[in-house]
């Protein structure tokens, strides 16, 4: 493959309006995409007393059951995941009768307090109305049954399954008097209790309520409207936060995994304003420390080129901050162009107009390294292959367990080390 030809196939960031405008360089992506069914499983797995019922082919049910068996929070082979496998007859004549018969057995055996009825591609193709079926089952058995649609042919990855499952939880919520707690919405990885944000809240005497989908119960979901504010730590939970705001008046703060200290400070400021509490002095101290570190290492970042692969951070917010510091993103890989990224994309374009491609295309992208000659690759790549090209890898995965100024301190410190490594690698590559 020819690196120049590959770059010629890629649009610049300024040329794309939706994710459909962003190409992928190979039919297969590394390490492969997951369908929304996996996202639904991840979300239901975090709701301790909910049962997931997958409706679809035997392949889909096998995939999810295997996944559930590997996750402790699902309870193993006889845990909180079961399937209704459709036959050719069901696909031809409809699955309603089979679903009603199967659900009777499920209720008798599992005695669930809440059921997520997860439909797969075949259901969406044949058009069975599982929203109506879920309503019928709810009334008949007097338990909440929520339909979640996870067809893969309409989306790129597993995030829609997460988003739809989290949003479906709104129907479980009850209107109640507002208290002083906070809900944490959208945390996918790590333990919120280990983050800076958690410690700041606990030190301020703020009670943590529902944590969805990282760990909650049906009871906590029902009383989620008691929260004084919702903290949205990933865009997948924005639809739920907006619905709660419209119906219950619960304000929300978008506190994604930001790296820009100014955005982190704004999120903290908004949060404590909604909580009607004074901003802790330690937050101002952490902000000043982050800005001090930024000022200290900014000169070493000027003109440093990089290719963005993947990280726990919000893709465009991360790249906007790096561009502001003087670094040059040459290629950005992303499978999402969320509406919330509009401001960050505009900020990137103030400094540079990088190529954009779907993640992750590391096989064909290796041919552009000789053309771009970046110093750094952000994400997962083969370190030895990159080193021969004079490129160092920045692994940002540990930041997946961080929230707040700790994240920017981590990334700035590691950036400095990575750039020093890259300069040594470039010397080696020219020998």
Tens of pLDDT, residue by residue over 220-249, are: 999 999 999 999 999 999 999 999 999 999
Q: How confident is the model at residue 58 (pLDDT cuts 50, 70, 90)?
A: confident
* Range in 44-53, 85-94, 215-224, 402-411 with the lowest mean pLDDT: 85-94
Exposure on the CB side of residue 110, measured as CA atoms within 13 A:
25
pLDDT at 123 over 60: yes
- The whole-model pTM stands at 0.89
Per-residue pLDDT tens over the stretch 269-292: 999 999 999 999 999 999 999 999
Give the model confidence (pLDDT) of 365-400 as tens digits. 999 999 999 999 999 899 999 999 999 999 888 888
CB 302 within 8 A of CB 295: no
pLDDT at 190 over 80: no
When pLDDT is averaged across residues 142-155 and rounded to a whole number, the result is 83
The per-residue pLDDT for range 391-410, each reduced to its tens digit, is 999 988 888 889 999 999 99
**Total Cβ atoms within 10 A of residue 135:** 14
Q: Is the pLDDT of residue 315 over 60?
A: yes
Burial 11-22 (b: 16+ CB within 10 A, else e): eebeebeeeeeb
What pLDDT, on the 0 to 100 scale, is given for residue 153?
58
Model confidence pLDDT, tens digit, residues 341-351: 899 999 999 99
Mean local confidence (pLDDT), 411-429: 93
List, edge to edge, every strand of the sheet that includes 392-394.
355-357, 328-333, 305-308, 376-378, 392-394
Q: What is the largest CA-CA distance in the chain?
A: 76
Q: How confident is the model at residue 31 (pLDDT cuts 50, 70, 90)?
A: low
Q: Residue 352: how many CB atoms within 10 A of its CB?
A: 16
In order of 64, 136, 183, 294, the CA distances from 131 in angstroms are 21, 9, 27, 51
Q: Is the pLDDT of residue 179 over 70?
A: yes
Residue 32 has pLDDT above 60, yes or no: no
Average pLDDT value for residue range 174-181: 92
Which secondary-structure segment (H or E) carries 376? strand 376-378
Average pLDDT estimate for 125-141: 89
State the chain's mean pLDDT as an integer.
90
CA angle in degrees (0–180, nearest 5) for 352-354-356 = 155
User: Which residue(s) pair with 394 in the sheet?
Assistant: 378
Q: What are phi and psi of 152, to 5 degrees?
A: -85, -20
User: What is the percent of the chain with per-residue pLDDT over 90, rounded to a whole number?
Assistant: 64
Q: What percentage of residues in the chain have a pLDDT greater than 70?
A: 97
User: Which residues touch 57 (CB under 8 Å, ≥6 apart)?
Assistant: 85, 86, 120, 122
Q: For the chain, what is the total number of helices (H) and then of strands (E)?
A: 19, 13
Using DSSP, state whether 85 is helix, strand or coil. strand
Cα 220 versus chain centre, distance = 22
Return the structure tokens found at 131: 């929203």
């Amino acid at each position: 493959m020819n690196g120049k030809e590959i770059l010629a196939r890629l649009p610049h960031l300024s040329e794309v309006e939706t994710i459909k405008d962003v190409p992928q360089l190979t039919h297969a992506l590394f390490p492969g995409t997951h369908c929304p069914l996996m996202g639904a499983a991840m979300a239901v797995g975090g709701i301790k007393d909910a049962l997931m019922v997958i409706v679809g082919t035997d392949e889909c049910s096998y995939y999810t059951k295997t996944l559930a068996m590997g996750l402790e929070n699902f309870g193993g082979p006889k845990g909180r995941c079961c399937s209704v496998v459709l036959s050719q007859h069901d696909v031809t004549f409809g699955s309603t009768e089979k679903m009603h018969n199967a659900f009777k057995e499920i209720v008798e055996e599992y005695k669930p307090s809440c059921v997520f009825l997860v439909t797969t591609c075949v259901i969406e193709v044949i058009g069975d109305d599982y929203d109506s079926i879920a309503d019928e089952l709810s009334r008949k058995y007097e338990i909440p049954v929520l339909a979640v649609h996870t067809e893969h042919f309409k989306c790129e990855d597993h995030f829609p399954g997460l988003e739809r499952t989290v949003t479906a939880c709104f129907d479980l919520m009850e209107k109640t008097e507002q208290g002083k707690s906070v809900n944490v919405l959208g945390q996918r990885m790590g333990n919120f209790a280990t983050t800076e944000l958690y410690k700041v809240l606990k030190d301020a005497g703020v009670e943590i309520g529902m944590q969805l989908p990282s760990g909650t119960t049906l009871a906590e979901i029902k009383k989620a409207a008691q929260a004084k504010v919702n903290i949205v730590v990933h865009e997948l939970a924005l639809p739920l936060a907006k619905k709660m705001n419209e119906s219950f008046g619960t304000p929300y703060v978008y506190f994604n995994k930001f790296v820009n200290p100014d955005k982190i400070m704004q999120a903290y400021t908004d949060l404590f304003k909604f909580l009607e509490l004074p901003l802790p002095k330690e937050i101002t101290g952490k902000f000043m420390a982050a800005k001090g570190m930024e000022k200290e290492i900014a000169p070493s970042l000027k003109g440093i080129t990089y290719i963005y692969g993947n990280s726990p951070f919000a893709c465009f917010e991360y790249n906007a901050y790096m561009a502001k510091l003087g670094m040059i993103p040459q290629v950005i890989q992303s499978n999402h162009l969320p509406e919330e990224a509009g401001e960050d994309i505009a900020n990137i374009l103030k400094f540079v107009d990088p190529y954009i491609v779907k993640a992750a295309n590391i096989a064909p992208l290796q041919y552009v390294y000789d053309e771009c000659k970046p110093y750094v690759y952000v994400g997962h790549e083969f370190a030895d292959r990159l080193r021969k090209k004079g490129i160092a890898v920045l692994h940002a995965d540990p930041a997946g367990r961080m929230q707040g100024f700790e994240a920017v301190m981590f990334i700035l410190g590691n950036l400095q080390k990575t750039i020093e490594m890259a300069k040594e690698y470039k010397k080696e590559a020219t020998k």
